[in-house]
Each structure stands twice: as structure tokens, then as C-alpha cells.
Structure 1
Amino acid sequence: MGEAHGFRSPPQVAAPESAMSVVAAFLYHEGKRLRPVTLIDPACEHIAKDDFVWIGLSQPSETELADIAGNYGLHPLAVEDAGNGHQISKLDVYGDQLFIVARTAHLEGDHIAYGSTAIFLGKNFLITVRQGSARSHSELRAHLEITPDLLREGPDYVLHAILDFIVDGYFPIVEAIEEDVLKMEQRMLAAFLTREEVTRIFTLRRELVRFQRVLGPMLEVGRKLVNLQLPRLDEASKPYFRDLLDHMLRVESAITGIRDILISVFEASHLLEQQRQGAITRQLAAWAAILAVPTAIAGIYGMNFENMPELKTQWGYFVILGVIAAVCIGLYIRFKRNHWL
């Protein structure tokens, strides 16, 4: 199916519904769009075996969900889950129908916002219900419509295309966070991390942990699509779902790698900070030792004792200055060789 986020969609013809929640609703014949349908149009009762209806809804009302459930015989529990935008990813079988919930994700600043897409797959129909998703399926539908050979394969191939489109939407999130983390790693090597940057590290780590929790059930859905015998899925579609599962595993691996980098950035920054503080401490100790020599000698000769024979020495002043200079220079050279200065 290719990278869905790279599609460029032509102008979309709107379905003949007054409700804005109906994004598109069409009957497809031999992979080509035949005509629009309505939510209460009993299209599946009067179409050919190889034709199917694809309906896309966004934030539908309870009335619209009830209409489409009654028309297509959808299970009430599945309809209830489809109206819940916070449902975890899952795959359920209701008779000869499949019901799948897939979590969508998009970046909002440093935070990952989530939505959901519920998918009903039955005899000659596929219905999607988007809740809180930032990416419309219009570009995906347009891409598939210009490649009718894929649409001709049936709604199970459309199911794969939708799930692949959702999973492909994860990659820009991972890539954007990874780029920020790598830049943060470079800054860490040059200077101390600021309080804001440390806070951001923990914010990104928290978002990635949450992302992994969302991805876990999605992986389970992918494994079921690959390994189980499910109604309405052609055996020939299994390789496509294996490719989908591989994409999910790549996302999971990338998230794990970014989390490891974040931890290493924080730990390395902490170690470098300790190292720099140790270097500063050694420098201060070295200079203190050097300055202690003239201080000690000056302190001895500043005690004003009368019985100090050196006080009457003619060249004593210059001798003491020479001793101070020699000892200080010797200490400086010693500390320099030991890389304390």
C-alpha cells in the first residue's frame, strides 16, 4: 500500500448526507466508485457479490450510529465501543462480522494526543468511525480509488489499508521525538542541561511510556489478524497483515531505542556534571595549596617575636621571596602535570 502519509489526494466528492459526521459513503463495483449511499440505504441487500460499501464517519451522533447499526446489523456492544473515543485497541468477532478498534496518535507540542478509529467489517461493507483522530481517511480513499486493482480485492484489503494508514501515522511522531532527543544529546555534550531540559527529558519519557501502552494492544490486534482464522478475511490478505505487524514492531523498537537514549542522556549529563564539578574542585584545591605557601611564611614572620635571628639577615627579604616563588612554581608544575590545573 506504500507510505500512506505521503499520499496527495485529488478533490473529494462529498457523500449526499447533510450531517457533517458522514465524511464519505460510497458503493464500489469492481474496484471503482459506483454511487453514493446513505446510512439507511439497504445497499448490501441489492449489490453484487464482489461489490461493497465503504462508509466513513467522524464523530457521529448516537442517532447516526443507531441508524447504521440497524441497517447493517451491527452488534450493540460494538456500536457502544465505537462511540467511545477512549476505547483501547482490540479485535472482536460478532457472528460473521469483525469489529476492530485502532488507536490513532498525533503530536501536540511535546505531548502525544490520541484518538480512535472503530472499524466494522461485514459482508459487502466496511464502516469506519473516527473519534478524536487528526488525520482524515480522504487521502487514503483517494489513493485507493486511483488503484482500483486493490479495491477490487474487497473490504478486507481496505481494512489493511486503513490500519496501515493509522500505523504509518506513528512514524512521524517517533521521528520527531527522536530528532529532538538527538539534538538534546549533542547539547548535553557541550554544556550542562538546564532545569527546563531535564524536565523535558522526563516529559518525553512519560509520553513514550504511554505510547508503548497504547501500542501494546495494537500489536495484539496485529498478531490476531496474522495468526487467527477470522471471518471476512481472505487467506490471500495474510501477507499484508504480516507486513502491518512488522510496521508495528518497528515502531515499538524505535520507541524502546528512544527511551534508552533519553535515559542515557540524563545519566551521561549527570556523570559529566559530576566530572566537571570534580575538575573545578581539584583546581580550587591546587590554587589553595599554592597560595598556602606565601600565606604560611608571611604568617610566621608576622608573629613579631623578638628572638628571631632571621630578622637581622641582610638579604633575608629577598631569600624569603625566592623561596616562596620557587615553592609556588614547583607546586604549579606538579599540579599541571597531574592535570589539576
Structure 2
Amino acid sequence: MKKTAKKRTQNYKKHVGQVPGTLVYTGKKSGNKLQIQSFDYNKDTIKENILQHIENAVSYKDTDTVTWININGLHYVEEIERVGEQFGLHPLVLEDIVNTSQRPKIDEYECYLFVVLKMLYYDKDENIAIEQVSLVLGKNYVLTFQESEGDVFDIVRDRIRLGKGRIRTLKSDYLLYTLIDAVVDHYFSIVEILGNKIEDLETDLFAGQAKENINVEVQQLKREILKVRRSIFPLREVINRIEKIEHPLIYKRTITYFRDVYDHLSQVSENIDIYREMIWSLMDMYMTTISNKMNEVMKVLTIIATIFIPLTFIAGIYGMNFDNIPELHFKYSYYVLWGIMILIFVAMLFYFKRKKWL
């Protein structure tokens, strides 16, 4: 138990005593290679490249086209720092990029906006994985920073390549919207899977087919819902601020799209609240089921004990070692005693049955 608690606090200890703006990677995915992918496009043309060096990305900073530069590998702290130098990012922004325990938020700067959100997905062991995605919106570019390869942005890449929708005709703020929207849309699949798990457990409990370790499953689901809730709820504040922001990088025509993202987040949040209540109800239902089973066992034992009380009383009386018991010398006393005991037994069973205690 102490070792687990120690591991949980290690990421926070990395920042203790550090100078503000110091880059310290707090994640766990340190074995991945640094990958830099760029999309440079306008209405008529598109260039997709894999960049070998950070410096190659600087040429896209002041172009007339829109550029999306995606960087995978937050543990390459020196390269992240060089990106910040090339694009004029504040040291506190760079610190938040490599701090993977950052809460979803938005920071406004004169020449750019900085957004942090959480990307959720199920890993191969069917556990919820949370990966931090940081986005920097500039005049004609969007920078995205991820821990490792693999994300939910493939649909955005296809829309850029094929020129689907408005993405090739609008500015970088619309690209920011599409990336956030892709993350939010994936929340629906996460919530749907959680809902299916909860409904399956609920069905098993009602049908009396619950597994022995169902309490463990309920606890795991509760932790998953809390993780999802912590990742999604703060993002509503971020989108709400973008809607109300007065920044030259956010055009009025794009505000409507962000408002749609906010509606999606509200829907997801409502579902999470419903599932949260359901999981608490499942725990109560499980405890009630256990209590009912215990009550059934105790009822059977009580009935058995009640039936044998008069029989034991009779056997105790005639088991006493006295010579002057009148019935001892009667010829059929043994059979009469048995008959009385059987009659009492049957009468009590009939009475319990009539009362519907059996």
C-alpha cells in the first residue's frame, strides 16, 4: 500500500523546488521516438511531410497557408524547449506541455492561444488510458504535442488530404476547432462503452447471475467514471471561454462551431452524471442482494430452530432419569410420543406455509 502511494506522488515531487518554467516530463511513455508531422495547406494545395528536425518547422510560422505541426514525444524535453524558442512560446507554456498531469485549460497570450485537453481511449487490457494533448494556436498554424504515436486525429488528417468540408478554406482557428471536436467526439464512444458495462452489471444483478467478484467490477467502473469525469468536465470551461473570448486569432464565424462542441460536452457530461448515479445504485443494489441472501439463510435456520424447540422440550422432559414419570410404563408410550412429535412438526410446517414464511 505504501509503495503504491509512493508511486502516485512521484510525479508531483518532480516539480517540488523547481524554478517556474523548468521543463520536467512527468509522464511514463519515455521509450517512444520523436516524431514530427506537418500538414501545410490552403484551398488549392497541400503538403504533408515528416520533419527530421525541429528547425524545419520554423519555415511554416509566417506563411500565408495554414500549417498543422504534430509532435509526438514529450520526453524529448530539449526538443520541446527548442520548439518554444522557435515559435516564441512562454516558458510556463512549455512547462505545462511536458507536465502530463495538467488540468484541461486555456491560456491567452498576445500572439497565440494555449489549450490543454485530455484524449481518452481504451487500451488492449480494456482499461481507460488518458493522454494529454496540448495545442498552440498561432496566426497561421496549430502546434499539437502528444506523448506517443496514435491518436484520434486520423479523421482530421483525411479531411485535410481529401479537402472534405471547410477545413481547407478557413483559417487556423477552424483547424483548432476540428482537432478539439475530434477529441470530444471520441468521448461519446468512451461513454457508450461505460454505459454498456453498467447495463450488463445491472442485468446480472437483477437476474441473480452476478459473479462473485462483481463488487470489484463495480469499483473499477466507479474509478473509470471518475477518471472520465475529471478529464471532461474542465473542458467545458475551456470551450466556454473560447466562445466569449475576444482574441484576433478567433474569428466570429468559428464561434458557432465551438458552441456546437460545448453542446456535445454538455451531453457527454449529463451521461456521465447519469452513469455515476447508476454505479452508486449498483453498489447499493449489490449490498441489498447480499443482505437479502443472508436474510434468506437466517430465515431458514430460524424456522428449523423453531420447529425443533418443542421437540427438544418433549425429548428433554422424557429423557430425565426419574422413576415416577407416569408414561414410562405405558405399553405404547414410545409410539404415542413419536406421534405427538410428528404431529407438532407437521402442524408447524403447515402454519409457516400458511403465513408464507416458507
TM-score range, shorter-chain basis? 0.7 to 0.9
- What does residue 139 of structure 2 align with? 123
Greater relative contact order, per chain length (Cα 8 Å cut-off, separation 6+): 1
Q: For 2:168 and 2:149, how far apart are their aligned partners in 1?
A: 24
- What does residue 98 of structure 2 align with? 83
Deviation of the 1:332 alpha carbon: 0.2
Check the 8 A contact 1:27/1:53 in 2, yes or no: yes
Aligned amino acid, residue 223 of structure 1: N
Within the candidate set 62, 67, 71, 1:57 is matched to: 71
Note if 1:177 corresponds to 2:197. no
- Aligned positions of 1:288-299 closer than 5 A: 288-299=305-316
Residues 137-169 of structure 1: CA deviation (Å, up to 9, x unaligned): 344211343205332122111111101111222
* Alignment CA distance shift 1:313-1:31 (3 Å): farther
Deviation of the 1:221 alpha carbon: 0.6
Within the candidate set 320, 329, 333, 2:346 is matched to: 329
Given the two structures, how large is their TM-score scaled by the length of structure 2? 0.79
Given the two structures, how large is their TM-score scaled by the length of structure 1? 0.83
- What does residue 106 of structure 1 align with? 121
* Alignment CA distance shift 1:294-1:86 (3 Å): closer
SS at match of 2:93: helix
Residues 197-233 of structure 1: CA deviation (Å, up to 9, x unaligned): 3133223323322332222321211111122223311
Worse-matched range after superposition: 136-145 or 248-257: 136-145
Unaligned runs of 5+ in 2: 1-31
Within the candidate set 139, 142, 148, 2:158 is matched to: 142
* Alignment CA distance shift 1:110-1:37 (3 Å): closer
Worse-matched range after superposition: 150-159 or 197-206: 197-206
* Alignment CA distance shift 1:34-1:194 (3 Å): closer
Note if 1:215 corresponds to 2:229. no
Aligned amino acid, residue 226 of structure 1: E
Aligned amino acid, residue 295 of structure 1: T
What fraction of aligned residue pairs are identical, expressed as a percent?
26
Q: For 1:339 and 1:23, how far apart are their aligned partners in 2?
A: 74
- What does residue 247 of structure 1 align with? 264
- What does residue 23 of structure 2 align with? none
Residues 55-79 of structure 1: CA deviation (Å, up to 9, x unaligned): 1111153454344434433333323
RMSD: 2.7
Q: For 1:84 and 1:116, how far apart are their aligned partners in 2?
A: 9
SS at match of 1:222: helix
Deviation of the 1:194 alpha carbon: 5.7
SS at match of 2:117: strand
The number of residue pairs the alignment matches comes to 320
SS at match of 2:213: helix
Worse-matched range after superposition: 165-174 or 57-66: 57-66
Note if 1:153 corresponds to 2:170. yes
- Aligned positions of 1:254-265 closer than 5 A: 254-265=271-282
Deviation of the 1:88 alpha carbon: 2.0
- Aligned positions of 1:181-192 closer than 5 A: 181-191=198-208
Residues 238-281 of structure 1: CA deviation (Å, up to 9, x unaligned): 12111111222222222222222221111111112212211221
Deviation of the 1:22 alpha carbon: 3.8
Check the 8 A contact 1:100/1:119 in 2, yes or no: yes
* Alignment CA distance shift 1:226-1:296 (3 Å): same
Aligned amino acid, residue 222 of structure 1: I
Deviation of the 1:102 alpha carbon: 1.2
